[in-house]
Structure 1
Amino acid sequence: MSKLPLRLVLTALVAVSFTAGCNKQSSPAASATNTSAAGGQCEPPADTVVATYKVDGAEQKVTYGELTGRLGAPLADLEKRKQEMIKRGLEGYVLEKLVQAEAKKRGLPNEDALIKAEIEDKVPQPSDEEINKVFEQAKGGGQLPPDVTLEQVKPEIIKMLTEQNKREKAQALFTDLKSKADLQTMLPEKRIEVAAIGPAKGPEGAPITIVEFSDFQCPFCSKANASVNEVLKSYEGKVRLVFRHFPLSFHAEAPKAAEASLCAQDQNKFWEYHDKLFANQQALKVDDLKKHAVDLGLDAARFNECLDSGKKAELVKKDMADGEKVGVTGTPAFFINGVALSGAVPAEEFKSIIDAELKKKK
């Protein structure tokens, strides 16, 4: 097995966090909201005049507030990505120091030797059962051509499972090191005001509110659902989850699936329907959506009328517009008391933000 240097492990984990989502577009991680992209200049007040021009001899002015309002969603996205990059950069830098210290403590020659001992040497060869399971799921989900054989794709499945296991081992190691070191970060969090409107679970008035923007056809959103459920269970009574819709343009079935979930909400079955959709992402056509409603015991006639009328489409569009205003360009996107978190990240990343928020409220 090839050697996996510490810096590459940390870079890979950060990269996974940034890419573990369905994205509408890619954007550079730079910002012009609190500081300019060039050199950290302070943001001018909203009424600062940034341009003048003349119309029929009369001088016209453009203020900084008008400009940022015009740029709106793209600017919010840049700010969100900048904050995420700074946060992940800090975590990677601290982890690098903790791994170096742990290697020295154990008498190892360098940090790469620790990575080899704790990650590479502990990752077993995927079993035939695991390989077959992935193959059957990919075939059944239509991700592989029907004539492809297991032997043809087995090397890629082994590579995928091995890399996944490496990431899990690395995450466990880093979590343990941070816990032992009693890591505390004091990086100021940029908070984004997001309306907590929509289907919700958890008590009103909970100290933590998570607003999620999601897409029922996005595989990363389905994966993130497990992390969200773990968080709700771990912080029962302390977290309120609000679900908002952000169907992406290249997911053809996602908008109607979003409408269908709201039709299910009319019959107090939103979360049951929500789970059904994420468990059946290959079955999201209108006929499938109606069948899911029947399977869950909804009033079929009432559900079908709601779905066919398209009367929930405006609610979905409202969610999308609100998401764009706060910089959402991909799914899943979370705002934990206004702190942005993007992608299908492990539950530990939610817990890190939540624990910090709860400490502030004591």
Structure 2
Amino acid sequence: MSLRPFRFVLSALVAASVLSGCNKQTSPATSATPSAAAGQCEPASDTVVATYKLDGAEQKVTYGELTSRIGPPMADLEKRKQDLIKRGLDGYIIEKLVQSEAKKRGLENEDALIKAEVESKVATPSDAEIQKIYDQAKAGNQLPPDVTLEQVKPEIVKMLSEQAKREHAQTLFTQLKEKADVQINLPEKRAEVAAIGPSKGPADAPITIVEFSDFQCPFCSKAIQNVDEVMKTYEGKVKLVFRHFPLSFHGDAPKAAEAAACAQDQNKFWEFHDKLFASQQNLKVDDLKKYATELGLDSARFNECLDSNKKAELVKKDMADGEKVGVTGTPAFFINGVALSGAVPASEFKTIIDAELKKKK
């Protein structure tokens, strides 16, 4: 049995928001992570959770030792749980608002509203749009060399149409939430994330966004526009801090991260950041050195920094800090410690930021 149109659109939108990032895993890193029963308090760190004998002497394992060992996967599970709760609450509210709006307009049901405000507004992709997607896929080696445009055109059309449908649905849902003055009172769990690294915005801004990102991740590139919109909307109130999290399956990302750190030494991080994201298909070492020259960096100093691998430890430190708070994919954001994952719309940043600013009044 297929989902009704409204439920399908809502499910697709939620799925898109969950999958709007590059992830190094799709399931928890270990199945040994304990889960507390409903209502059960977490043990104190010195609670003995196991004993065993070694050479005749009793050995003890405390809860603190256990959580220290499996800290990253536990943080990941907690982050996923919070994401699921937030997505579920958002979906529930949207469903109620759409049902109410359909009733106000005298429509038969919510599906009729979706048809009028979403499906009817999705235009057939132009030949130029289709060609652009095809060319990008070919350039990124995402298609076999002998595949023609005509062979993949139906899939490209479907992909572009579904993307447009999600965008129109997101616009509708945002408008309905603003009209209904939706206020989220869900308690937020905060992660302790060090705001160290290249930054934008006032040092004493009431809002600090720490971003973990990967220069080869296409979702990180897509997120830039939304982050820029947030920085502009809340100018003077937000500080953005960039931290590195190159994923293992992005072969050029680690060296690109090191290169950006080398550029930071010459006060050119953000210029280099923008150049790398605009050139994601060309991130080999020679490309990185070429970009440094184009941006006016001291080439000899930059090349020595990059070739010596002196920034590798900095990148590893960023990744270790990210893993401690449950980062498994990019982009990952922490807004005053509140986690937000993926290339999500600016409106999702706004919801958290507005709530944070309201608390500070």
How far, CA to CA, are the matches of 1:337 and 1:161 in structure 2? Answer: 35
Matches within 5 A, 1:209-220: 209-220=208-219
How far, CA to CA, are the matches of 2:247 and 2:144 in structure 1? Answer: 25
SS of 1:126's partner is: coil
> Which residue pairs with 1:14 in the alignment?
14
Provide TM-score, normalisation by structure 1: 0.95
> Which residue pairs with 1:353 in the alignment?
352
How far, CA to CA, are the matches of 1:75 and 1:227 in structure 2? Answer: 29
How far, CA to CA, are the matches of 1:76 and 1:314 in structure 2? Answer: 23
Matched, 1:77 2:98: no
How far, CA to CA, are the matches of 1:91 and 1:30 in structure 2? Answer: 29
Structure 1 gaps of 5+ residues are none
> Which residue pairs with 1:338 in the alignment?
337
Structure 2 gaps of 5+ residues are none
- Amino acid in the other structure paired with 2:270: W
Matches within 5 A, 1:98-137: 98-137=97-136
> Which residue pairs with 1:5 in the alignment?
5
- Amino acid in the other structure paired with 1:67: L
SS of 2:240's partner is: strand
Matched, 1:36 2:21: no
How far apart are residue 3 of structure 1 and its match? 8.9
Per-residue CA deviations over 1:281-310 (Å, capped at 9, x if unaligned) read 011000000001111111111111110011
How far, CA to CA, are the matches of 1:283 and 1:345 in structure 2? Answer: 25
| Matched-pair identity in % | 80
How far apart are residue 38 of structure 1 and its match? 4.3
> Which residue pairs with 1:65 in the alignment?
64
> Are the equivalent residues in 2 in contact too, given 1:29–1:85 (CA < 8 A)?
no
> Which residue pairs with 1:24 in the alignment?
24
How far apart are residue 43 of structure 1 and its match? 1.5
SS of 1:36's partner is: coil
> Are the equivalent residues in 1 in contact too, given 2:212–2:330 (CA < 8 A)?
yes
SS of 1:16's partner is: helix
Moved over 4 A (4+): 28-33
Structure 1 residues 98 and 14: alpha-carbon distance in aligned structure 2, compared to 1, 3 A threshold:
same
Per-residue CA deviations over 1:104-158 (Å, capped at 9, x if unaligned) read 1111111111111111111111122222222233333433344332212211111
How far, CA to CA, are the matches of 1:217 and 1:164 in structure 2? Answer: 22
**Which is worse superposed, 299-308 or 41-50?**
41-50
> Which residue pairs with 1:171 in the alignment?
170
How far apart are residue 52 of structure 1 and its match? 2.2
**Which is worse superposed, 272-281 or 347-356?**
347-356
Per-residue CA deviations over 1:175-195 (Å, capped at 9, x if unaligned) read 000000000111000100000
Q: How large is the Cα RMSD of the aligned pairs? A: 2.1
How far, CA to CA, are the matches of 1:165 and 1:180 in structure 2? Answer: 23
Matched, 1:252 2:251: yes
Matched, 1:289 2:288: yes
- Amino acid in the other structure paired with 2:184: T
Structure 1 residues 303 and 359: alpha-carbon distance in aligned structure 2, compared to 1, 3 A threshold:
same
Per-residue CA deviations over 1:46-92 (Å, capped at 9, x if unaligned) read 22221223345443322212211111101010001100100110000
**How many positions carry a matched residue from both structures?**
360
Matched, 1:162 2:181: no
How far, CA to CA, are the matches of 1:223 and 1:42 in structure 2? Answer: 40
Provide TM-score, normalisation by structure 2: 0.95
Structure 1 residues 131 and 40: alpha-carbon distance in aligned structure 2, compared to 1, 3 A threshold:
farther
> Which residue pairs with 1:263 in the alignment?
262
- Amino acid in the other structure paired with 1:175: T
